[in-house]
Structure 1
C-alpha cells in the first residue's frame, strides 16, 4: 500500500467539504469536511480499493510517473457534480 498515487482534491461548493480522488484508480474517491479529513479518508479509500481489486482480480494500474510532479497539493475551486 506504500505505492504513491497522485490524488486530486476538489472543493465541493454545493455540498460543502472536499472530494478527493485518484485518477489512476478508477472509482477511488472519497470526501471529508476539511482538507485534512479528506486526505486521511483518501488513504483509507486507496487501501480499500487496492484490497478489493486484489480480491476480485481487477488489474491495478501502475501510478503515472510522479517525477513530473512538483509534490504540491493543488485544490480545484469548482463545483462538484
Structure 2
C-alpha cells in the first residue's frame, strides 16, 4: 500500500510528518530522511494495530487529493510504501 505523507519544517521544529489518509499519525525526525523513516515505522505500527483489532486498513489515496489542502502549504510530499499483505484479511 502506498500512502502520501507530507513533511513540514519551520525554524523552531524538527521535520514533522503527517499521513492524511491515517488521521492521528504525526511523527518527526531530525532530517527529511529520518522523518520519512519515522513515518514508515508509524504507518507500519498503525496498520498492525488496525489488523490485530480486525478493523479495515484505509487505502492510500492519490497524492493529488491532498496537495491543495491549506493545512499542508509549504510541505514536501513523499510516497511511502508499506507491505500490508500479511496483515490484511
Q: Same fold judged by TM-score > 0.5?
A: yes
- The count of residues paired between Structure 1 and Structure 2 equals 69
SS of 2:3's partner is coil
Higher strand proportion (structure 1 or 2): 2
SS of 1:64's partner is coil
- The separation in 2 between residues aligned to 1:35 and 1:20, in whole angstroms, is 9
- The separation in 1 between residues aligned to 2:40 and 2:60, in whole angstroms, is 15
SS of 1:53's partner is helix
CA RMSD, aligned part only?
2.4
Partner of 1:4 in structure 2? Answer: 2
Structure 1 ranges of 4+ moved more than 4 A: none
Any stretches of 5+ residues in structure 1 without a counterpart? none
Measured after TM superposition, the shift of residue 31 of structure 1 is: 0.6
